[in-house]
Amino acid sequence: MNALTLPPFDYVPMSYEGPSAEEVLALRKEFLNPAIFHYYKKPIMVVEGKGQYLFDETGRRYLDGFGGIVTVSVGHCHPQVMAAANGQNERIQHTTTIYLHPNIALYAKELAAKMPGDLKVVYFVNSGSEANDLAMLMARAYTGNYDLIALRNAYHGGSPASMALTSHHTWKFNVPHGFGVQHAQMPDMYRGPFGIDDAEAGRKYAEDVQSLIRFGTSGKVAAFFAESIQGVGGTVVFPEGYLKHAYEHVRAAGGLCVADEVQAGVGRAGTHYWGFETQGGMPEIVTMAKGIGNGCPLAAVVTTPEIAKVLASRIHFNTFGGNPVSCAQGRAVLEVIEREGLQENSLRVGAQLKEGFLKLAEKHDLIGDVRGMGLMLGVELVKDRKTKEPASAECAQVFETCKELGLLIGKGGLNGNVLRIKPPMCLTGEDADFLIGTLDVALGGI
């Protein structure tokens, strides 16, 4: 097979008879908030998806290398997931937690079974931002402390509360939102002061958390938030042991440790089911969304029984949290990941991709760093490997060329110079060859 030819796929997309892409774009401009942006100079209109592939209104097939922003875990329109959602839709679409329904109880049990230690109590919400909002509330209520610590370059959501945790000026509005939240040094092995070969880098970066507690707070904190692998920030993987050491400093200050698994969770990291497990640390609270629902609005906060009790001190309610259709879909996702070995596939195909990207780095000086775990990968582009000046314009060009060649990927980092490769976890080895070959051609065109 030619490296620039999509692998054979025995599927014919349905005929599309709706408005044209130009008409849809015009409607968006007229009726949708201008904050809703689109990718690409000439935006693509996606009308169908199957497995790891997407189809536009003309029937053209693309390899989805971004998974709906790291949301499609088991593949688009997976038959078992669709059957679970459709079957529940035919029975009842909505109840709330004021009534009993088996789906929420069974799903909570099955999700808790995937968690290590005493992380056994689940609260369902609708998005990662909501999950992190709730984790903030729980930590402050449980500890009696107020200050929170997150990391520079982090993304934890765009709601008024979670925006405070987020540490990119491009995502933060000029409104009061950051009370009680401070940001520690980003443990970036590529750009930070401690190099990739420093065996003590994890401990050294964690010392900044301790310093921030001592000099920026009362000495007591409510919680420390960290993505297990930074997503929007450009797939930043922490040095070994960083979270373990940071957690120790936070606990000494009376705080809880919160792992944001919105992007890195449910097997995507390959070696472990949850990203924090790769760091040797055990959080008290875990937030998750995106991949657990494979596209439906589903998120959760998982914590210990003791911490969970704090919410019962007041009335707390979420109208759509634990919706029976969402829970049916979430249960099916867990089953598919297990039955189809998608965590193992993430490890295997992710390693193939990473090896291919490293070979591309030998050929293209534009690649400054290749990083990530499993099928959560990033390729940072720089103008000069010594100065590490971000190659933002070049990244945008590669991004556009890949689309024209049939590959859809993401981009991130504060400077928009990191290619984000986070496809559905059902990606095949042939797909990986196509992705690598396409990226090779796109980089060669700079």
pLDDT digits (tens, 9 = 90+) for 108-144: 999 999 999 999 999 999 999 999 999 999 999 999 9
Percent of the chain with pLDDT over 70: 99
Inter-residue long-range contacts of 46-50, CB under 8 Å, 24+ positions, other chains counted: 47/13, 47/16, 47/18, 48/13, 48/14, 48/16, 49/76, 49/77, 50/9, 50/11, 50/13, 50/75, 50/76, 50/77
Mean pLDDT rounded to a whole number for the chain: 97
pLDDT value of residue 113 = 98
Which CATH number is associated with domain 79-339?
3.40.640.10
**Mean pLDDT calculated for residue range 302-329:** 97
Cβ burial 111-133 (10 Å sphere, 16+ → b, else e): beebbeeebbbbbbbbbbbbbbb
- Residue among 280, 286, 210, 289 nearest 251 (CA): 210
User: How confident is the model over 16-34, as pLDDT tens digits?
Assistant: 999 999 999 999 999 999 9
pLDDT value of residue 103 = 98
Sheet holding 61-64, edge to edge: 46-50, 53-56, 61-64, 407-408
Give the C-alpha separation, 372 to 368, whole Å.
Answer: 14
394 burial (CB, 10 Å; 0-12 / 13-18 / 19+) is: middle
Give the C-alpha separation, 336 to 74, whole Å.
Answer: 7
Residue 2 has pLDDT above 80, yes or no: no
Residue 183 forms beta bridges with which residues? 150
CA distances from 329 to 66, 297, 299, 340 (A): 21, 10, 12, 16
Band of the pLDDT at 1, cuts 50, 70, 90? Answer: very low
Q: Give the Cα-Cα-Cα angle 136, 140, 141 (nearest 5 degrees).
A: 115
User: How confident is the model over 146-200, as pLDDT tens digits?
Assistant: 999 999 999 999 999 999 999 999 999 999 888 999 999 999 999 999 988 899 9
CA distances from 282 to 119, 124, 256, 257 (A): 9, 21, 10, 8
Residue 95 has pLDDT above 80, yes or no: yes
SS3 157: coil
If one compares 196 and 392, the residue with the highest pLDDT of the two is 392
| Backbone angles phi and psi of 22, in degrees to 5 | -65, -40
Structure tokens at 429: 């080895």
The helix (H) or strand (E) run that includes residue 368 is strand 367-373
Query: Lowest-pLDDT range, 54-63, 195-204, 215-224?
Result: 195-204
Give the C-alpha separation, 8 to 60, whole Å.
Answer: 13
Residue 3 has pLDDT above 80, yes or no: no
- Contact (CB, 8 A) for 122 and 108: yes
Residue 49 has pLDDT above 80, yes or no: yes
Give the C-alpha separation, 189 to 316, whole Å.
Answer: 41
DSSP state for residue 221 in the 8-state scheme: -
Distance between first and last Cα of the chain:
25
DSSP state for residue 388 in the 8-state scheme: -
SS3 410: strand
**Residue extents of the structural domains in the chain:** 79-339
- Contact (CB, 8 A) for 76 and 11: no
Band of the pLDDT at 266, cuts 50, 70, 90? Answer: very high
pLDDT value of residue 178 = 85
Structure tokens at 262: 């919105």
SS3 355: helix
